[in-house]
C-alpha cells in the first residue's frame, strides 16, 4: 500500500545520489505524501523489468484499502512524468502550478543541458568511488564511452572546468538575487516548487558523493542550496552527504 | 488619454526594431490595450528626461476621464517593470500568470544572457545601416566600445557565429517540440504569454533590420516564430521588416 520509490544506491545502502531520484523525493516530500524507498543498483535491471525500462526513478503507487472503487496500481518512471502524475493524482500542494508546465519544462531542459553536464564533470569519478564493485565496471565503461576519456582524466580536469560551470549558472543566480526560490506555488515565490527540485537534484547528487566545493559562500545559489537543504524540516540535509 | 509608448525608430520612422520595445508592444497587444506610439531616436535623450533615465521603452499611462477618482499619470520604463505594471493595473488576460513571476524572470535572464547577445552578433551592423546619420555616430562608438571591434568586423564573423547561436537555443527548441508556446495564460500553453514576448522581441529586432537567415525552416523555433508573427491578428507581421 502507498508509494514505493526505486532509488539508486551505492556501496553504502543509505547513500543516495541519483539527481533524478532526488527530484522525485523532494517532490513527494513537498506534497506531503508518505513513501517508502527500496535501494536499487545500476546492474539490477531485472528488478525493474516490470516497469518496461531499465532506469530509476520508478514509482509503484498502490491504492489504499480506503481508495475509491476502480483505483489500480500505477507504475510511473521518469522524474518529469512522475511529477505530472503526482499533480494529477494528488492535486493538493501543486508541484507544477496551473499555467506553468511549458515554463517548467523549459527550465528542466536548461538544467539537463547546462547544470547536469557541468556537475557531471565535477563528480563522475566520485560517483564511481561510491559504487559497489559490480556497479563500478558498468559505470566506468558506460561513462568513459560517453565522455571519450577515462574517469580519472575527467576528474583531473574538474578544477579547470569549475569557473565555466559557475558562470553557466548566471541566469539562475540573477533570479535568486531577486527571489528566494525559482518556482513555488505562490505568486511571491516564497516556497520551493518543482523547478527548485529539478535543479536541487543536481546539487544533492554532488553532495551525496563529492567533497568538491562547487559554489562560493557569497553566491546567491549557495544561499538557495542551503534553503533547499533546510526545506521540509531539513529533509535533504538529514541524508548522508558531504557538507561542503 | 490612454497609453503612449516611446518606441525606438531608425531613419525610416515606421521601422521599429528595439527588442525591448517589441516586448512591450506584444504585451500591450496581448492584453488588448489600445496604445499610441511616438518614434524616438537614440540621441533624443532630452525627450526622455521626464522619465528619469535615457532609454526606451517608456510608457506614459494617463487615466481616462471615466477613471476612478485619484488615478494619476504613471510613467514606467524597462520592459519587465512595464509588464508587471500592466498586470497590476489591468488584471484581465495576464502576461505573467500568478505563481510564474520567478520562472518568467529566470527565462528573461536566460534570454538576455544567451539569445540577445547571440542575435546582436548577427544584426548589430544591420541596425547601424538603418539609423539616421546623427544616431549612427552614437551607435557605432557605443557598440564598438562594448564589443571591442568594429561593426564591420562583427558582421564579417556573423556567419561563423550562427551555428553556436542556433545551438544555444536548444532548451527553447526542446520545449517547443512539446508545446506551442513557452508560457501562456492557460495550462495547456496554447496561447503565448510574456515569456514568448520576451524572446520574440529578439527575433522581431532582427526581422526589422536584417536579411540574414537566423533559423532553418525545419527548426521548431522557426515554426514558433511564425506563430508569433501571426498572433493577435498578425500584429507583428504587418510591421515593416524582412521576412526571411
Average pLDDT over residues A132-145: 96
Report ipTM for this prediction. Answer: 0.94
Q: Which of B91, B95, B101, B106 is the best substitution to test chain A (most A C-beta atoms within 10 A)?
A: B106
pTM above 0.90, yes or no: yes
User: What's chain B's length in residues?
Assistant: 244
Q: Which of B78, B102, B189, B195 is the best substitution to test chain A (most A C-beta atoms within 10 A)?
A: B102
CB B100 within 8 A of CB A99: yes
B106, A171: Cβ pair inside 8 Å?
A: yes
Distance from CA of B162 to the nearest CA of A (A): 19
B195, A103: Cβ pair inside 8 Å?
A: yes
- With 60 as the cut, is the pLDDT of residue A186 above it? no
CB B65 within 8 A of CB B1: yes
Q: Which of B101, B113, B182 sits opposite A106 (nearest CB)?
A: B182
Residues 6+ apart with CB under 8 A from A151: A124, A125, A128, A140, A143, A144
- With 70 as the cut, is the pLDDT of residue A70 above it? no
CA distances from A218 to A5, A16, A165, A226, B102 (A): 35, 28, 16, 12, 21
Distance from CA of A176 to the nearest CA of B (A): 9
Place of cell 536541487: A200
For chain A, the average pLDDT equals 94
Residues 6+ apart with CB under 8 A from A83: A23, A24, A27, A95, A96, A194, A197
Distance from CA of B120 to the nearest CA of A (A): 18
The predicted structure's pLDDT at residue B98:
82
Q: Which residues of B touch A (CB under 8 A)?
A: 97-107, 109-110, 113-114, 170-172, 174-175, 178-179, 181-187, 189, 195
Alpha-carbon gap, residue A56 to A48, rounded angstroms:
8
Per-residue pLDDT reduced to its tens digit, A73-120: 999 999 999 999 999 999 989 999 888 899 999 999 999 999 999 999
The predicted structure's pLDDT at residue A100:
87
Q: Which of B110, B113, B186 sits opposite A99 (nearest CB)?
A: B186
Alpha-carbon gap, residue B68 to B139, rounded angstroms:
43
Residue A244 buriedness (CB in 10 A; 0-12 / 13-18 / 19+): exposed
Residues 6+ apart with CB under 8 A from B240: B12, B14, B15, B16, B208
Question: In sequence order, what are the beta bridge partners of B61?
Answer: B3, B74
Residues (pLDDT < 70) of chain B are 1, 65-70, 184-189
Long-range contacts, stretch B223-231, CB < 8 angstroms, 24+ apart: B223/B176, B224/B176, B224/B180, B224/B181, B224/B196, B225/B200, B227/B180, B227/B181, B227/B192, B228/B26, B228/B192, B228/B196, B228/B200, B228/B203, B231/B26, B231/B192
Cis peptide leading into A44, omega within 30 of 0? no
CB B13 within 8 A of CB B39: yes
A174, B109: Cβ pair inside 8 Å?
A: yes
The predicted structure's pLDDT at residue B186:
55
Distance from CA of A148 to the nearest CA of B (A): 21
B195, A171: Cβ pair inside 8 Å?
A: no
Q: Among candidates A148, A147, A155, which has minimal Cα distance to A123?
A: A155
Q: Which helix (H) or strand (E) holds B75?
A: strand B74-77
Amino acid at each position: 500500500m502507498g508509494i514505493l520509490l526505486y532509488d539508486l544506491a551505492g556501496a553504502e545502502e543509505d547513500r543516495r545520489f541519483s539527481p533524478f531520484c532526488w527530484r522525485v523525493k523532494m517532490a513527494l516530500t513537498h506534497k506531503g505524501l508518505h513513501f517508502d524507498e527500496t535501494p536499487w543498483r545500476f546492474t539490477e535491471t531485472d528488478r525493474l523489468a516490470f516497469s518496461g525500462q531499465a532506469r530509476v526513478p520508478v514509482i509503484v503507487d498502490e491504492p489504499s484499502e480506503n481508495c475509491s472503487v476502480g483505483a489500480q496500481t500505477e507504475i510511473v518512471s521518469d522524474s518529469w512524468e512522475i511529477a505530472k502524475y503526482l499533480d494529477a493524482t494528488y492535486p493538493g500542494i501543486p508541484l507544477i502550478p496551473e499555467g506553468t508546465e511549458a515554463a517548467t519544462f523549459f527550465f528542466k531542459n536548461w538544467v539537463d543541458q547546462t547544470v547536469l553536464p557541468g556537475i557531471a564533470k565535477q563528480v563522475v569519478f566520485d560517483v564511481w568511488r561510491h559504487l559497489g564493485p559490480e556497479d563500478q565496471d558498468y559505470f566506468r565503461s558506460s561513462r568513459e564511452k560517453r565522455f571519450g576519456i577515462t574517469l580519472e582524466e575527467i576528474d583531473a580536469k574538474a578544477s579547470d572546468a569549475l569557473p565555466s560551470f559557475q558562470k553557466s549558472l548566471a541566469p539562475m543566480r540573477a533570479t535568486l538575487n531577486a527571489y528566494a526560490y525559482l518556482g513555488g506555488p505562490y505568486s511571491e515565490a516564497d516556497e520551493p516548487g518543482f523547478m527548485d527540485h529539478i535543479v536541487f537534484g543536481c546539487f544533492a547528487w554532488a553532495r551525496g558523493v563529492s567533497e568538491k566545493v562547487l559554489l562560493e559562500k557569497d553566491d546567491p545559489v549557495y544561499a538557495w542550496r542551503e534553503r533547499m537543504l533546510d526545506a521540509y524540516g531539513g529533509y535533504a540535509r538529514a541524508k548522508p552527504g558531504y557538507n561542503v
